[in-house]
Structure 1
Amino acid sequence: MTAPKSHQIVIIGGGTAGTTVAASLLRKRPQLDVAVIEPSEVHYYQPAFTLVGGGTYSLSNTVKPQQATLPKQVTWIRQSATQIDPEQKQVHLLNDEIISYQYLVVATGIQLDWNKIDGLLETLGENGVCSNYSPQSVEYTWQCIDKFSGGKALFTQPPVPFKCAGAPQKIAYLAADQFHKRGLSKRTEINFYNAGGALFSVPDFIPYLEQTAARHDVNLNFNHNLIAVDGPNKKARFAVTDADGNSSEIEQDFDMLHVTPPQSAPEFIKQSRLVNEAGWVTVDQFTLQHTQFDDIFSLGDVSSLPTSKTAAAIRKQAPVLVQNLLSRLDGKPLDARYDGYTSCPVVTGYGKVMLAEFAYDAVVTPTLPLNPFKESRFYWFVKKYFLPPMYWHFMLKGFEADITHKPLKK
C-alpha cells in the first residue's frame, strides 16, 4: 500500500472559507506547507446570485477558475474528501488516496438537499420552478420574473440553518418590485412561505422587514415547510404546523415558484466524529478550535458556530482561525476571539438594501454610523459594485485590514 502523502496544514474545501484561510496563512508565513482538497474547477461568488436572479448582474461575473483563486504556493488536491480519521490524522479521498496532516481545517461549506423536496429536481429549471441557490438554475429565476404576466408567485424558506438568512426574501422583494414596475400588481398574488416562525433571526430587524413585505404586498406565511412540487401541474405542497404544534398539509397552485432548498453539512462530515447532533463540526465559538481534537479547526457554513452562514461571517472568522492555528503551531495560547459577527445585505427592492449586521446573542453591530434599519441606496452600490472586487482581490488574497463594527447604542 502506498504511504499517505503528508502536509503540514490540510484544508478541506476551496470555497470562500478554505481559500481565505489558505491565503492568509501563506501571506503571514510563506514557508508553510498548505494543501487544499477541492474537486471543483471553478469558484463562484455566491452572494451575487440574488442580483443574477433579479436580472441586474451577470452570472459570468460571479465565476473564476479555481486555479486563479487559490494561492500559488498551495498544493491543490483535486479530489473529494470521503472520510476524516482524527485519531490517525488522515483524510481519505474519493480516489482511495490518503492525506496525512499535522493540522486540519474543515471548510467544506454546506450541501443543498434538493432531494428532500419530492419532485423538485425533476422540475427545477422549468415549469416556472426556479432557485437562486445554484448557478445552474439562477438565470432561470430572472426568466421567470421577466416573463411573468400575473398569477400566483410563491417564494419559500426552509428550516434553519441555510446560507444567507435573508436570501429567500430578497428575491421576493425584487420580484414584487419588478411586477409593480410592469403594472402587474393588481393581478398578482405573492406569498412567502417560511418554515420557521419569524421573518428574520435578529428580532430588531423584524418590524422593518415586515414593513418591507407589506409595502410589496408580500403575504407572509409562517410554519409552512415546502415538502413536494408538481411542476407540470404547477402545485406545491407544504407541511403546516399550527400554534398548538399540530401538523397538516396544504396544496397551493402557482405560476412561479422560487425554492430555497433545505441544507446540511456534507454526508461524510455528518458521518464523522467531528460533529454535534445536528451534523455540524463542533468548535469553540470564540477560538474556532475543535472541542475534542486540538489539531483541528473549522469555520464557515460547515461549523457549529451559532451565527448566520454568510461570506461576511467568514471574513471575520478567518483571521481569528489563522491567528489561533499559528499560535497552536507555536505552542502559544489561543488568544484571538470571534464575536459572532455576520452581515446580510437584505435587498428590499431595486436600488435598496437594508444592511443587517449583528453578532452573537443577536446584538446589532453596525460598521458605519448609518441607521441599520433604514433602506439605503448607498448599500445597494456597496453590494453590487464594492463587495465583489473586495471579495476577489482582498478577501481571497488573504488581506485582513478591516473597519471595526460596534454594538448599536439604544
Structure 2
Amino acid sequence: MSNNNELKEALSLVDKELKNKGLSRRDALKVAGLGSATFLMGNTEVEAATVAKASDVKAKILIIGGGLAGISTAARLSNSLSNPDITVIEPNPKSVSYQPGNTLIAAGVYTKDDIMYDTKDFVPSGVKVIKDKAIEFDPENNKVKTQNGETFDYDYLIVAAGLKLDFGKIQGLEDIGELTSLGDASKLTSKLKNSGVCSIYSTDGAVDTWTQMQKLIQDAKAGKNVEAIFTHPNTPIKCGGAPKKIMYLTNSRLEEVGARKNANLTFYPNGGSMFGVKEYHEAILEQFKARDFNWHYNHNLIGVDLEKKIATFDNFWDEKGEYDPDLEEYDIVTKHKNVEVPYDFLHITPPMKAPDEIGNSPIGSGKGWVPVNKETLQHVKYDNIFSLGDIAAVPMGKTGGSVRKQYKVLVDNIISSMEGKALTAKYDGYTVCPLITDIGKVMLAEFDWSKKPTPSFPLDPTVERYVWWLLKVYMLKPMTQYGMLSGRA
C-alpha cells in the first residue's frame, strides 16, 4: 500500500468510527473546537517543507542511525540541498517501525504487522544506507569506524542512534542484557515467557505483553484476586507516559470483562510525581483516584525473582541529618530500604542508556548521552556534529513528537553552518504525549521547557477525549509514515 493510500484508509476509518457515533468528521471536529485541524481534514502535509529554494552548498553528511529521527533528517536534507551527499549507517533493516504502536499491540488493539516497515521503502533517492554499526568515533579527524572494519569520513556528523534498554541492570534479569526496541528480543521473550513479567519497550515484548495480560484477565475473571504492578526507572526513558498507558489499558481490558474488582493495580515510579508538568500531574492523579489505582513514589525496581514472583524496589526518601553551624542548616540524608512486592503481572519499564560505543566515546558525555545545545542541537564541543532523538542530551525530548520538531531545526542549522551563517533555528522543547487513559480515550499532553501545557488547539488539554483516541489509533502512524519520513511534516 502506498503512503498516500494508507493515509486515505486511516481517514476512512476515522469517518467510519465517527459515523457510528452519528457524526461526520467535520461536525466532530467542529464540536471539539478543531475546525483548523487540517491533519484530520485530509491535508497530507501537516507542515509543508519551508524551504522555498534548495541550497547549493555541498558537504559530506554522515548520519548514525536509520530510525525515525535519522531517516526523517536524511529526507529533509535531501529535499533542502541541490547536491546532497548523505550516508546513513544503520544495522537493522526494520529500523523505522512505528514504535509508539507498541502500547496498542500490548493491549490487543494493533498487531505487530500494523507497525512494521521496511527501512528501504523510506530511504530518499540518492541517500546511501550502509548496513553496519558505528563503533568508533574520531571527531578530531572527522572519521567513524564500523563493526565491519570500514572507516567513513565526513564534513558533518548527525547522531540519531537511539538508546539501549538495560534489562541487565535489574537483578535476576542480568542474562537478558541490553536490547534495542527493534533488535533481537529472543533473550527477553524466552526469559519472561509465561512468567507474568513483560515489557512493551521491545516490539516482540509488546506482543508477549498482550499474551500475559490476557492470562491476568482470565485469572481475574475466574475470581482470583490478582496483583498487577507497573514500574518507572531512575533513568531517562523514551516516551515517559508509556508506563502509565499500559496500566490504563490493563485496567480498561479488565473492566471490559467485569473482572476489575478482582485486580489490584499499583504504579511504582522512581520519581515523586506523575508528570513533570503540574497540570498534567494533577489530572493524572484524579484519573488514578477515579479508577481506584494505587501508587507509591520513590520506588526504583532493582530486582525480580521470576520463580517466587517477587519484585524488589529501592524505596528512598530524604531525612534531616546533622546540623551544620557554618551553613546554619541541617544536612539532608537520603535513606534507602528494599521493599519486596509480590505480583501476578509485572510490567517493567527498563533502565535506559546510550549505546556504550557512543556514550563512552569522545562525542559522548559523563552521563552517556550526546551533549548538545538544547536549542540548536549542535554538539557542545564539535561544531560539525549534531544530534537528535532519544540519544541527544535534551531535556524532555525522547518522543516521536519531539523528533518531529527537532529534525527541522537540525536541518536548518546544518545548512546555515554549511553556508557560514549563524545558527538561528531553535528547538523550544516541544513534546507531545498522547496519554492513553482508556480504550477510546486519550489526554493529549503537549508542553515545552516552560513546563506548562502548550495545547495546539483551543481545548482543555487535561481532559480525556475520544477525538484524540482517533488521532492516536488511526492517524499518527500514517502521519509519521507519510509526513515525517518524507521530511515534510
TM-score range, shorter chain: over 0.9
Aligned-pair distance for 1:69? 2.1
Aligned-pair distance for 1:140? 1.3
Q: Which moved more, 1:116-125 or 1:196-205?
A: 116-125
CA contact (8 A) 1:157 1:194 kept: yes
Q: Which residue of 2 aligns with 1:317?
A: 406
Give CA deviations for 1:260-298 in whole Å, capped at 9, x if unaligned. Answer: 110011111111122332111111111111111111111
Residues 123-134 of structure 1 mapped to structure 2, 5 A cutoff: 123-134=191-202
Give CA deviations for 1:310-333 in whole Å, capped at 9, x if unaligned. Answer: 000000000000001011111111
Q: What's the TM-score once normalised by structure 1's chain length?
A: 0.94
Would you say 1:274 and 2:382 are equivalent positions?
Answer: no
Q: Which residue of 2 aligns with 1:396?
A: 485
Would you say 1:152 and 2:227 are equivalent positions?
Answer: yes
Would you say 1:141 and 2:216 are equivalent positions?
Answer: no
Q: Which residue of 2 aligns with 1:79?
A: 132
Over the matched positions of the two proteins, sequence identity in percent amounts to 41
Residues 2-401 of structure 1 mapped to structure 2, 5 A cutoff: 8-42=60-94, 43-120=96-173, 121=176, 123-148=191-216, 149-150=219-220, 151-244=226-319, 245-400=334-489
Determine the C-alpha separation between the residues in 2 that align with 1:377 and 1:191.
25
Q: What's the TM-score once normalised by structure 2's chain length?
A: 0.79
Give the root-mean-square deviation of aligned CA atoms. Answer: 1.3
Aligned-pair distance for 1:156? 0.7
Determine the C-alpha separation between the residues in 2 that align with 1:365 and 1:185.
34
Give CA deviations for 1:83-135 in whole Å, capped at 9, x if unaligned. Answer: 11100100110011111001000111111101011223373233111111001
CA contact (8 A) 1:165 1:201 kept: no
Q: Which residue of 2 aligns with 1:405?
A: none
Instruction: Kindly name which structure, 1 or 2, has the bigger radius of gyration based on alpha carbons.
Output: 2
Which blocks of at least 5 consecutive residues in structure 1 are unaligned? 1-6, 401-410
Determine the C-alpha separation between the residues in 1 that align with 2:306 and 2:123.
40
Q: Which moved more, 1:237-246 or 1:94-103?
A: 237-246
Aligned-pair distance for 1:146? 1.7
Determine the C-alpha separation between the residues in 2 that align with 1:76 and 1:147.
42
Determine the C-alpha separation between the residues in 1 that align with 2:65 and 2:200.
22
Classify the secondary structure of the residue corresponding to 1:360: coil
Determine the C-alpha separation between the residues in 2 that align with 1:191 and 1:30.
55
Which blocks of at least 5 consecutive residues in structure 2 are unaligned? 1-58, 177-187, 221-225, 320-333
Aligned-pair distance for 1:68? 1.1
Determine the C-alpha separation between the residues in 2 that align with 1:80 and 1:87.
20
Q: Which residue of 2 aligns with 1:404?
A: none
Determine the C-alpha separation between the residues in 2 that align with 1:100 and 1:164.
33
